[in-house]
Chains A and B, each alone.
Chain A
């Protein structure tokens, strides 16, 4: 079957454009950012077209392309998407143009904070390279290739944080890089181990996901290999207790970087659970699931409690993400199709709502020049649109019914209640805490007497409205009508749950207009 090579173009176009930007003179700011915006919009358009062309009931992996790469290692450049990877690529397609809009003045004198030396050309070049690698990491169906994208992705993000971040950017960049690198290297041991196992089982070493899925691995060895992958993904996701890099990286990253870091990069961790841990090591997954669920629930509560204690807005949003990643992990390791579908939908929704929250916080910070909640007050009376957007993003983050996150959170809770009622109930407490930390932040910054520092606040300008409105619209649309996404996600999650040998729940996923 020949088809349009979507995936190769989705990876190649931003990569080529990113490198090509280096040929543009640094001072031609308009050319640089317009080219970047155009490229990211083309990527968005292609990913939408790809979604339309995707057949949810078709084969598990579609748009498959495979070329020999390093034959001596048995490595192929193999790409393909299932429903889970597809929605993540779609999320990337949506978020990158938004980030380009939000970073319009990055690297110019207007957008440059004290002591920051990065240039606009470097920012957008790294951004495009990052986009290419992010698509690659979700599209890879060869584990070696996945690993390559997984590690290579660190470099652009490292430079985005290190060159364009806040005051403690050096520390945050190195911490981010080293945490991820340690996880990645542990995973590398497991990747090689998997290769050796496959060489023993089928006579020839391979990294192809489909072939590896079908070999049976000795349960004890499975546990070791599982842990190798799991630790890498748990650091990436991040699950408590591997989370300490995220608040630093999230707080110090430039806003655009933070959106992609929390919105997409971290999802590679939870995506990895679903794509690699569960299907490749089903016995080990079942053995470790209770322990991981404890970590997940711990993350929900601990992240929420810490979020309440934050005085720094960016750190607060970063901590809310830790709580949300707990929900996603709960959904993944509950081993029901409902919870799994909820988890995948949560990955998309979290990208949208946390992305919006980060962007709005970023707007606040660009106006008030401070990340401290206490420096703001009464913003809603001087900038009502800004306050309204903040409220909507916040409500989505706390999963109010009618917003996108509600659907996914509900699916996770209802799907995990069957097998693990206690964890499900404990996780519900997290929702209450979420309402507290979001609404308290909203109240302190937006209401109350107008502080001197917020008096001259300008409301959202056209550019800000332009890049916020798609996300705000999606919050409502996906809250009311998530069916198209669920239709894509459910078969892929079903297949994953079949791999792990979990009992199929016969009822289709429901809730929030789900079906």
Chain B
């Protein structure tokens, strides 16, 4: 038996992930030992410190290109950019978690998740100003898992990260204070379908190991380079891995969970899922396809090509039929996932590197910011029963609260990809990358579906501005400091990345490095 020696680990390179995960561990200890009245503030502070620290660490590490922990984790431009993006979006989501002034019971999270819905003690606690502060460490674990997911250069680490990010999310999905049954249903659905996806991924991993004898992405690429087209293990393994990742990214036809879970989960959690999980899943997709299967583009390109079309079409067309804001945004996220895949296509050939990686990274950042922002607006519009998410309730919102309507309109126009917003810059970047790569039919489909999707974004604008206010309409809550910060940051970023995106485009250009 050969000697087992511990691999050398560059703790500095892993600092962003470690910071968030240690914040999560400290959070668990706080939960166990700190008195209840201190917990909320302590948990918020710890979770924010962890995520913001991670952003800072990612910025400080910029320029590093190495593989660490026995080639299992990549520290390179792309992983650092993604880690920074996930941590930043995670910090914004945690700010939404920490909002105290919108719900009369001071939190969007349930007081005691274990109580059966409708039981006597549940009713008693419904308006109690307590809540499960475990959501903060859970969210930190999920964010840490996402960061590792996007940075892993090894299929096993990727799988572990997938589970680390998924399990806490399943839990916090079910912890809404209002409409608890819907929330719990969402959690169960997410858990069941997510387990399937994990199983797919694991099975694909096993097949790929059978084919290549390795789970390291770099070694896998060398093994794949010599493979013939008839290698069933390789093709099946790749397909199953991709299915698992597409599920996590919420891409049609593996999107079925998205609308239900987005609708049922507490809105801050929805924001976390819609923004961070998507960034992480696309990080993993990029790394898997570009690093692991970069030399066998012929195998995945037709697959991604067709799935991109399906996702854009499904997201845009089904989005039109939605009557609930959160479901509408869910279908919007499915369509946007399709647009992101348009960028993923543009790997480029061997002679010239495509702009796929850089443009996808940029799109992920812009998409994440406007998504968090739009869900933050959703938390503001409330009636007696919690958030008023039915579209009809939004009628005439502009006359009741012009600022809220204006901010929402900004996000909607950005999601629709109107010029002078970040959404347009992002779309332009991925479409240019795809056309340069010769995928112009895909871009034409993307443009047509953008037009369809614009219809449902506009419909909400029409409702807010051009319709008479509903009689028993919702009230627009006055956001506390955390949500105000989220709205200010996301709205400013949406405008700035639309007007003057130069610096960030430079950044993603430099960050578009994958080692391994």
- Chain A contact-residue range equals 35 or more
Q: How far is the CA of A432 from the CA of B502 in the complex (A)?
A: 56
Residues of B close to A73: CB separation below 8 A: 428-429, 432, 505
Residues of B close to A189: CB separation below 8 A: 431, 435, 440, 443-444, 447
Query: Which residue of the partner chain, among B435, B500, B502, contacts A196 with CB atoms under 8 Å?
Result: B435
Residue on A nearest B433 in the bound complex, by CB: A192
Q: How far is the CA of A162 from the CA of B435 in the complex (A)?
A: 36
Are A174 and B435 in contact (CB-based, < 8 A)? no
Are B505 and A72 in contact (CB-based, < 8 A)? yes
Are A192 and B443 in contact (CB-based, < 8 A)? yes
Are A151 and B455 in contact (CB-based, < 8 A)? no
Q: How far is the CA of A475 from the CA of B246 in the complex (A)?
A: 63
Q: How far is the CA of A221 from the CA of B268 in the complex (A)?
A: 48
Q: How far is the CA of A257 from the CA of B99 in the complex (A)?
A: 42
Residue on B nearest A162 in the bound complex, by CB: B466
Please tell me if B448 contacts chain A, counting CB pairs below 8 Å. yes
User: Nearest chain B CB to A85's CB is how many angstroms away?
Assistant: 20
Stretch at the interface among B20-28, B327-335, B412-420: B412-420
Query: Which residue of the partner chain, among A71, A149, A169, A196, contacts B466 with CB atoms under 8 Å?
Result: A169
User: Nearest chain A CB to B501's CB is how many angstroms away?
Assistant: 6
Are B501 and A178 in contact (CB-based, < 8 A)? no
Interface string of B485-515 (1 = CB under 8 A from A): 0000000000000001110011001000000
User: Nearest chain A CB to B480's CB is how many angstroms away?
Assistant: 25
User: Nearest chain B CB to A427's CB is how many angstroms away?
Assistant: 33
User: Nearest chain B CB to A74's CB is how many angstroms away?
Assistant: 10
User: Nearest chain A CB to B458's CB is how many angstroms away?
Assistant: 6
Residues of B close to A48: CB separation below 8 A: none
Are A199 and B428 in contact (CB-based, < 8 A)? no
Q: How far is the CA of A185 from the CA of B450 in the complex (A)?
A: 8
Please tell me if A450 contacts chain B, counting CB pairs below 8 Å. no
Q: How far is the CA of A189 from the CA of B432 in the complex (A)?
A: 9
Given the known inter-chain contacts A148-B419, A177-B458, A189-B444, please indicate yes or no for A159 contacting B465, CB distance below 8 A: yes
Given the known inter-chain contacts A163-B465, A192-B432, A193-B435, please indicate yes or no for A152 contacting B451, CB distance below 8 A: no
User: Nearest chain A CB to B351's CB is how many angstroms away?
Assistant: 14
Please tell me if A346 contacts chain B, counting CB pairs below 8 Å. no
Please tell me if A170 contacts chain B, counting CB pairs below 8 Å. yes
Among B432, B468, B502, max chain A CB count under 10 A is at B432
User: Nearest chain B CB to A297's CB is how many angstroms away?
Assistant: 29
Residues of A close to B436: CB separation below 8 A: 196, 199
Q: How far is the CA of A173 from the CA of B466 in the complex (A)?
A: 10
Please tell me if A195 contacts chain B, counting CB pairs below 8 Å. yes
Please tell me if B454 contacts chain A, counting CB pairs below 8 Å. yes
Query: Which residue of the partner chain, among B398, B418, B462, B505, contacts A151 with CB atoms under 8 Å?
Result: B418
Within 8 A of A (CB), among B447-495: 447-448, 450-451, 454-455, 458-459, 462, 465-468
Q: How far is the CA of A154 from the CA of B424 in the complex (A)?
A: 14
Are B450 and A115 in contact (CB-based, < 8 A)? no
Please tell me if B399 contacts chain A, counting CB pairs below 8 Å. yes
Residues of B close to A115: CB separation below 8 A: 468
Are A151 and B419 in contact (CB-based, < 8 A)? yes
Q: How far is the CA of A155 from the CA of B424 in the complex (A)?
A: 14
Are A147 and B444 in contact (CB-based, < 8 A)? no
Please tell me if A110 contacts chain B, counting CB pairs below 8 Å. no
Residues of A close to B432: CB separation below 8 A: 73, 192, 195-196
Residues of A close to B413: CB separation below 8 A: 155
Among A71, A115, A162, A185, max chain B CB count under 10 A is at A185
Please tell me if A70 contacts chain B, counting CB pairs below 8 Å. yes
User: Nearest chain A CB to B177's CB is how many angstroms away?
Assistant: 34
Residues of A close to B435: CB separation below 8 A: 189, 192-193, 196
Please tell me if A383 contacts chain B, counting CB pairs below 8 Å. no
Among B459, B462, B505, max chain A CB count under 10 A is at B462
Please tell me if A46 contacts chain B, counting CB pairs below 8 Å. no
Within 8 A of B (CB), among A151-173: 151-152, 154-155, 158-159, 162-163, 169-170, 173
Residue on A nearest B455 in the bound complex, by CB: A178
Q: How far is the CA of A109 from the CA of B436 in the complex (A)?
A: 55
User: Nearest chain B CB to A236's CB is how many angstroms away?
Assistant: 15
Q: How far is the CA of A259 from the CA of B86 in the complex (A)?
A: 48
Residue on B nearest A148 in the bound complex, by CB: B419
Are A170 and B502 in contact (CB-based, < 8 A)? no
Are A174 and B462 in contact (CB-based, < 8 A)? yes
Within 8 A of B (CB), among A258-275: none
Are B447 and A186 in contact (CB-based, < 8 A)? yes
Please tell me if A503 contacts chain B, counting CB pairs below 8 Å. no
Q: How far is the CA of A153 from the CA of B511 in the complex (A)?
A: 34
Q: How far is the CA of A181 from the CA of B455 in the complex (A)?
A: 10
Interface string of A8-41 (1 = CB under 8 A from B): 0000000000000000000000000000000000
Q: How far is the CA of A154 from the CA of B418 in the complex (A)?
A: 9
Given the known inter-chain contacts A117-B399, A162-B465, A196-B436, please indicate yes or no for A174 contacting B455, CB distance below 8 A: yes
Among A169, A177, A195, max chain B CB count under 10 A is at A177
Interface string of A177-219 (1 = CB under 8 A from B): 1100110011011001101100100000000000000000000
Interface string of B382-409 (1 = CB under 8 A from A): 0000000000000010110000000000
Residues of B close to A158: CB separation below 8 A: 458
Are A148 and B420 in contact (CB-based, < 8 A)? yes
Return 8 A-B CB contacts under 8 Å, by A number: A70-B502, A73-B429, A117-B466, A149-B419, A158-B458, A159-B465, A169-B466, A174-B455
B residues near A (Cβ < 8 Å) are 396, 398-399, 413, 416, 418-420, 424-425, 428-429, 431-432, 435-436, 440, 443-444, 447-448, 450-451, 454-455, 458-459, 462, 465-468, 500-502, 505-506, 509
Q: A163-B466, A192-B443 given. 14 additional CB < 8 A pairs?
A: A70-B425, A73-B429, A117-B398, A149-B419, A152-B418, A162-B465, A170-B462, A174-B458, A177-B454, A178-B454, A182-B451, A186-B444, A193-B440, A195-B432
Listed from nearest, the 4 A-B pairs whose CB atoms lie closest are A72-B505, A148-B419, A185-B447, A162-B466
A residues near B (Cβ < 8 Å) are 69-73, 115, 117, 147-149, 151-152, 154-155, 158-159, 162-163, 169-170, 173-174, 177-178, 181-182, 185-186, 188-189, 192-193, 195-196, 199
